[in-house]
Every structure is written in structure tokens, then in C-alpha cells.
Amino acid sequence: MSAKIPAASRTLALLRNLAKAAAPVTAVSLARQIGAPRSTTYQLLQVLEAEGFVIHYPETARWGIGVAAFELGTAYLRHDPLERLARPILHRIVQQLDELNLNSTAQMGILDGAELLYLLKENPRKAAVVVTDVGVRLPAHLTASGRSMLALLPKSQFKALYPPTKMISRRTEQGPETSKQLQQLLDKELAQGFSVESGHVSEGLNTIAAAATNHLGHPTAAFAVTFRTEDANDGVSAELAKLVISSSQELSKRLGAR
């Protein structure tokens, strides 16, 4: 498609480079970044300036993102894209849980600092009673959903959230007590592709979760299935792990992950 419509591809590349830049950029630099002649780059910038997508700063001969581009971005957020993209996937998870005839519940949550915020929840015909619901927050390290996303954070960001000297809070007698123990658990779960929580939030309940990433590779959300510990066995756990992994991969694709 990009070969057939080079102007459109160059325009999008130009806007992406401006969006990534920490400060306004010269047209010469933009031309080099998008691989276009200077004359073509100037023409694109002039059209985008007329429509409000870029701003020209004459004193420094540089270009920056305009108000129209900002409006597009905020419009995207107003339409609740994450929830809209995730809801049908969560519904299919619940359909699979009905087929398994498992007392369970399915949820989708996001990281907010060191907390997990639940955004979506849906129950199959046989629902498990859980303490979590839409809008509920829990320490991320206690939950499988939270840990699946923490495992994907850069080490520097993880250390900022969980300094080496920080003691880890617990709701029950289960789970890591120090940031070092938590990091070791995250490394293990990252290698296997999903996280498992058993009795860390509520005794008698297990949760299996996997994280989805966006186009930048950042953890964006996680799908989780919670079920009774007494129903846990290798077969059920493997089936649920496969279910949340495939669901998170589908959401990642919808979010533009490569």
C-alpha cells in the first residue's frame, strides 16, 4: 500500500516523527528521517500547516505538532478504545469458560503505577465469587494480571515502583515479601508467558493472566481468569493459560503491536 500511495505514507511518517520528537524539528531533519526530497517535505508541511496538524516556528525555522493532531489524539481517548477493543475478546473468553463448565470469572485490567485497576468483568453461567469488580484497585504484585504487566516493564521502571529496600504488602500468607523475591517471580512468569496467582488475593481462588502490549511494546492491559483452587489441575491450568495468552495476543494486534 505504501508503494502505491507514497504521499500518504510520507505524511504519516512525518507526523510520527514530529510526535516522537522532544522539541520542534527542522524541515531538513524531517526530510532525512522520512526519506523524502526537501521540496516534497516542505510541500507536505505546508499542507499540514494549513489544516492545523503542524505549526511552523519562523524564529527557529522549525516545525512541531499542531492543535488538530492533538484533537485527533484526544478523540481517540474519548472513544474508550481499549475497552471497546477488549470487550469482544473478553466475551469470547467467557464463552470458552462456559464450554469448560468451570466456576470462574473473566476480567481485564490495566496498570496504574503500582496498582492494578479493573476495567472490565464478565461472568460465565457458573460464576466464581471474587472480591474484585470494575473500578476496584489492588496492589499489582498481588494479582496475576498486575504481575503479567510488571514483568514487561523496563528494569528501571520496576525499581522505581519497587525499590530494593521496600517490603511487599500481602493480603494472605502467600506471595513474595521483598522486591527481590518479586523480581525473581516476574522473571519466571515472563519466561513462561503468563502469570499465576493462588491465594494471594483471596484464599481458595486461583487466577491465570497474560498481558497485551501496544505498538511501542509497553504492557497495556491484561486478561485474567479466576477460578476455584479446588478445580485447579494441570489440564485446566494449561487450557486457561492458552486461552489468556491467545486473547492477549489478539488484543496486542488490535493495539498495533508487531
Q: Could you tell me which residues come within 8 angstroms of residue 122 by beta carbon, excluding any fewer than 6 positions away? A: 90, 91, 93, 94, 105, 106, 107
Beta bridge partners of 110: 117
Is residue 178 within 8 Å of residue 198, measured between CB atoms? Answer: no
Predicted TM-score (pTM) of the model is: 0.69
Cell numbers for 83, please give them: 475497552
Residue closest to 102 by CA, chosen among 229, 203, 231? 231
Task: Give the per-residue pLDDT at 74.
Answer: 65
Beta bridge partners of 111: 116
Task: Give the per-residue pLDDT at 3.
Answer: 47
- Domain annotation for the chain: domains and CATH numbers: 6-75 (1.10.10.10), 80-254 (3.30.450.40)
Q: How far apart are CA 79 and CA 88, in angstroms?
A: 16
Task: Give the per-residue pLDDT at 75.
Answer: 65
Which parts of the chain have pLDDT scores under 50?
A: 1-3
Q: How far apart are CA 190 and CA 152, in angstroms?
A: 7
Task: Give the per-residue pLDDT at 168.
Answer: 79
Residue closest to 53 by CA, chosen among 28, 93, 96, 16? 16
Q: Alpha helices of 151-226 — where are they, by DSSP H?
A: 155-161, 179-192
- Reduced to 3 states (helix: H, G, I; strand: E, B; else coil), residue 38 is helix
Name the phi and psi angles at 214, rounded to 5. -95, -170
